[in-house]
Chain A
Amino acid sequence: MKPFDPVQLATPAFAVLVIAEMVFVRFTGRGRFEVKDTAASLMMGLGSVIVGALFAFLFVGFARLIMPFALFPIGWSWWAVVLCFVADDLRYYWWHRASHRVRWLWADHVNHHSSQHYNLSTALRQPWGGVLALPGLLFLAPLVLLGFPLEMIAFVHGINLVYQFWIHTESIGRFPRAIEAVMNTPSHHRVHHATNARYLDANYAGVFIVWDRMFGTFVAETDEDPPRYGIIGQIASFNPLRIALHGWVSLAGDLIHAKSPREAVLYLFAPPGWSPDGSRETSDSIKARWADVPAE
């Protein structure tokens, strides 16, 4: 079976759907667009493709390095593709969860969350980390070590990413309960992109929301608390380069000012917002404070 890149194939559809959503939002008001924000997101998407192409050799090189240690020689077959898809989605869940809980990974992933808007163009606001986001490679290892062919992993991951595009929208409400129970949907992913205390660190799923339900990170969207999008400490720029670098610049600044190797390690691996004197807020402290506030 000759693999192809689902993302490359879907790119024209992405453009058509972004345009369709703009028109829909303009005439229904179900969603929000802002020109500078949209431009920044689209340029981030284009830049991410370029950076991805430049550093693809790292992923391939790492996979080839560990391939000789694969447990099973899994070849191309329909069941293997299905199994690989599910396994990759589980891998995505853990990579995504780590990307929100480990500052080093968050420095890259934060870019995807940096818009105060939530529409299909936000799906394309992707990081430019490349070589800086190397620890993310480790999450690739289990699939390679199980014996799935690298081309199959790339193929199913491409499908996973294509699926995730359409859930970045406010234009779609909620699906019937059976679908919302199993699949990641616009409603679930709005929660993931929200900064409301109740929604922080939730719904990491790529395709199947069941992972969040299994591992205790699922939070349902409620009409009483509509999602507010972006990050804690919103950025004040639409410059793609500044957006792409701001997480890294912030991390580098903390590393430079670290007073001990221990502090430096914690700046790298502790959750975003960690500081030696506790003067900054992490998502845990924000949620704890929110939980302490009595309901009105």
Chain B
Amino acid sequence: MNAQLLQLLLSLGEVALMVGLCFALFGRAPAPAAHAFDARLALDVPGLRAGRRAVSGDGRSVLVEDARDGAIYLAVACGDGVVTRRLSRTTRVSRDGERLTLGLKDFTLKRAELTLDDASDWEARLKGPAA
């Protein structure tokens, strides 16, 4: 085993140790609180006037319609933070009962699944002219 490979393995071990300690100290990240989704959207979409809103059954995704122009925004939990995206016509939308699957052209957020009581309404909305 050469020295560089040994150094790499030691570094990986060091990273694993620090990650393990981080987990021991802080545990698994709690899902963001419900208000965190709205707070993030308010920051990312200045002037947003929230119209219709739907929270996924697992509480980790939210769809919000902007009452100003009908644009639909997705807010997704990412660790203990929230990430938002504007959904557009390029979003692939499919539905299986209450499960709505969104395929995004986004390198770090390719897919989102939401379980919604009114999934068919949102499907129609996302495929509609405002999208």
Interface residues of A (CB under 8 A from B): 15, 18-19, 22-23, 26, 32-39, 42-43, 46, 49-50, 116, 121, 195, 228, 230, 233-238, 242-243, 245-246, 249-250, 289
Closest to A250 in B: B107
Task: Indicate if B15 sits at the interface (CB-CB under 8 A).
Answer: yes
Q: How far is the CB of A31 from chain B (nearest CB, A)?
A: 11
Contacts A/B (CB < 8 Å), 11 sampled: A15-B14, A22-B21, A22-B26, A26-B26, A33-B26, A35-B23, A35-B26, A35-B29, A39-B22, A230-B81, A242-B108
A246 in contact with B18 (CB, 8 Å): no
| Cβ 8 A contact of A19, one of B21, B81, B109 | B21
Binary flags per residue of B6-42, CB closer than 8 Å to A gives 1, else 0: 0010011011001101110111110000000000000
Q: How far is the CB of B16 from chain A (nearest CB, A)?
A: 9
Provide the bound-state CA to CA distance between A248 and B101, in Å. 27
Pick from B62-70, B72-80, B122-130 the stretch touching chain A: B72-80
Given contacts A19-B21, A35-B19, A242-B107, contact A234 B83 (CB under 8 A): yes
Provide the bound-state CA to CA distance between A180 and B78, in Å. 34
Given contacts A234-B83, A236-B106, contact A42 B19 (CB under 8 A): yes
Within 8 A of A (CB), among B45-95: 46, 76, 78-84
Interface residues of B (CB under 8 A from A): 8, 11-12, 14-15, 18-19, 21-23, 25-29, 43-44, 46, 76, 78-84, 106-109
A36 in contact with B29 (CB, 8 Å): yes
Provide the bound-state CA to CA distance between A284 and B80, in Å. 29
Q: How far is the CB of B12 from chain A (nearest CB, A)?
A: 7
Closest to B104 in A: A236
B26 in contact with A236 (CB, 8 Å): no
Interface of A is mostly: helix
Given contacts A33-B25, A35-B26, A246-B107, contact A18 B79 (CB under 8 A): no
Closest to B112 in A: A236
Given contacts A23-B25, A34-B79, contact A237 B108 (CB under 8 A): yes
B46 in contact with A238 (CB, 8 Å): no
Residues of B within 8 A of A46 (CB): 11-12, 15
Closest to A293 in B: B46
Given contacts A235-B108, A289-B46, contact A39 B15 (CB under 8 A): yes
B107 in contact with A245 (CB, 8 Å): yes
Provide the bound-state CA to CA distance between A18 and B18, in Å. 8
Provide the bound-state CA to CA distance between A32 and B29, in Å. 11
Residues of A within 8 A of B23 (CB): 35
A234 in contact with B78 (CB, 8 Å): yes
A38 in contact with B19 (CB, 8 Å): yes
Given contacts A37-B79, A243-B108, A245-B107, 9 further A-B contacts (CB under 8 A): A26-B25, A34-B26, A35-B23, A121-B18, A234-B78, A235-B108, A236-B76, A237-B109, A246-B108
Given contacts A46-B15, A250-B107, contact A236 B78 (CB under 8 A): yes
Residues of A within 8 A of B81 (CB): 34, 116, 230, 234
Closest to B80 in A: A34
A236 in contact with B108 (CB, 8 Å): yes
